[in-house]
Structure 1
């Protein structure tokens, strides 16, 4: 481990040399220095403070109460990273999601497989690709028999913010398990339950790409097997969780339902989203909760595109009131009622203004 003096010196030199570089979605590195008390750099070739991301995480003191930024140099990081709950207020930033990838070959366990698990509150990721192993197929259609549970990220903590990130896998891609989260300008790819969990999240201006799945064993004579974009796990009417997609785009090579019920009070809303003609007519699936459909909150509001035709939808899709819709699509009321977003570094808070989001 380098001395603190060496680390700070290297960080200063790196930031001085790169302060004019622009990140992939218009964020400059210099704009993200406000409110950050310390910056360290990781590079897979070793030409930085740390060679691995986990080393940088381990360096952060437990009980940290100040924002610390970890800059990821371009490259592929083959790691299995765990951010413990006592390591809060971390900003993990790449220059471009096309240049910085965190990946790991691990599958089978929905709550622990994959490259990164976030247990700490106040986590921010900017311009990073999170990827699990089974995304290297050369064709857009994937054999069902080869698919395994393989999350690209596991979110186990409240108050997380993602900007310009990619999440790539096939099944259980984004494990949005619990807590309040905000995703903006992100790309999410998968086929089966690939945005799932009991999180309370807004997905704003995101692209959702549905991978194609085929199987001779499941579909008689072979053919395309429809997947599921969401599997939200709200368990009772008092829980505040749910997934809200606002101004997103849904496209891809496969067919899918908008969602299926992971728990008995599942809640998912698509608002002003452009939906390609890849959604099965019924739109939603009750899964193991048939007969309890009146408890779900599944809704499509002001969506466009060929896939937004609701003439064949299930009869139990909800028609929400204007008041209910306004509550769900507004960050201040749905995920920021205590004002946690205002405690983010000031350059990030500026991106959350009404004129920036809506």
Structure 2
């Protein structure tokens, strides 16, 4: 059965056909039409992103250690604050084992920063802000400012670190309890062997091209959300809800936006009943490929955010997924079991232009 989200494209195809003397009148639903639609929806020319030129050779290495006599700085933020306002070469910040209780933000001017921990189980940056907590301005922080760790700088890399929001998992229906562990609002950021731990709205994949490799991401409701263009490879996604939750809430709002989440060779486990995604954006785009899905995945798989119109414009698909929660038979009609041709743009490193800024992935 052809999903509802084909309707807009098919109507367009119909209008073209009616004006062409060699094509009969009427809307003819064919696999060819679907493939043409997928080509348009899955086109990743990335004309809206700037050319990415990364720098990997470090010009400076500084250390962070809980014991001041062993390191240069006792906090991660102090190490970042010690850098020039504008950075033009890669700076490596080596963080020793320990729990660093602090909020950290890397400003937009400080490109080419690498944070290296002593292992994700050993180096932990944590805080416990929630969206409804009052900030210094006397107003609630909001979701954006609740983040324990925030990245606003280009070409950021993190390795072997845990980013954690310790706020407890909220009861069902609670308001203002969004608690971001990691917010990524910059283009060309990569995370290797990291843990991102929280409950509601754990990872704010806000905007830009991002790569997550061998990461553990834990949450309850919309715990990977935002409008990034991101590839998640070999990651473990773990739900901690006792009722209904959602793994993703991708916010693509226009056919012209070159964003979406792709999960390749990942693992989904945990508790509760979990949607693979909710359509936060009208043109929300999420794909799962070669991914193990535990029985916690609800058979329908996806939720339209209470707006039936979004069923015509979202792009939700899976390819060769397995496990008790991966059965496509009960999925909503407006999602898709992709073919090898259809999934190819989503599983290649070119999905995020990795050849430009992470060439070793090729």
- Which TM-score band (shorter chain)? 0.7 to 0.9
- Could you say which structure has the greater relative contact order, defined with CA pairs below 8 angstroms and 6 or more residues apart? 2
Q: Which residue of structure 2 aligns with residue 144 of structure 1? A: 172
Deviation, structure 1 residue 129? 0.5
| 1:236 maps onto 2:254 in alignment | yes
Q: Is the CA contact 1:263–1:289 (under 8 Å) kept in the aligned structure 2?
A: no
Specify which of 305, 315, 335 is matched with residue 323 of structure 2. Answer: 305
Measured against aligned partners, the alpha-carbon deviations of 1:213-249 in whole angstroms (never above 9, x if no partner) come to: 3xxxxxxxxxxx2100000001111111000000000
RMSD, aligned CA:
1.7
1:27-46 matches, cutoff 5 A: 35-46=57-68
> Counterpart of 2:98?
75
Report the Cα distance in structure 2 between the residues aligned to 1:302 and 1:153, rounded to whole angstroms. Answer: 30
Write out per-residue CA displacement over residues 70-120 of structure 1, whole angstroms, 9 at most, x where no aligned residue.
011110111111111000100001010000110112011211102111100
1:266 aligns with: 284
Distance in 1 (alpha carbons) for counterparts of 2:212 and 2:354: 17
Kindly indicate whether the alpha-carbon contact (under 8 Å) linking 1:42 and 1:49 is maintained by their aligned counterparts in 2: yes
CA offset digits 1:156-181 (Å, max 9, x no partner) = 10000000000111110000000000
Residues 103 and 114 in structure 1, CA contact (< 8 A), matched pair in contact too = no
Q: Secondary structure at the match of 2:111?
A: coil
**Normalization by structure 1: what TM-score?**
0.79
| 2:124 aligned partner | 101
Higher Cα Rg, which structure: 2
Q: Per-residue deviation at 1:146?
A: 6.3
Structure 1 unaligned spans of 5+: 1-33, 214-224, 343-348, 354-358
Distance 1:145 1:292 in 2: 23
Does residue 1:124 correspond to 2:157, yes or no? yes
* Contact 1:187–1:209, Cα closer than 8 Å, also in 2: yes
Partner of residue 276, structure 1: 294
Partners of 1:161 and 1:133 in 2: how far apart?
23
Q: 1:265 to 1:303 in 2, by over 3 A?
A: same
Runs (4 or more) in structure 1 with deviation over 4 Å come to: none
State how far apart, in whole Å, the 2-side matches of 1:232 and 1:74 are. 34
**Aligned with residue 83 of structure 2, among 34, 39, 60:** 60
CA contact (8 A) 2:318 2:338 kept: no
Counterpart position of 1:335: 352
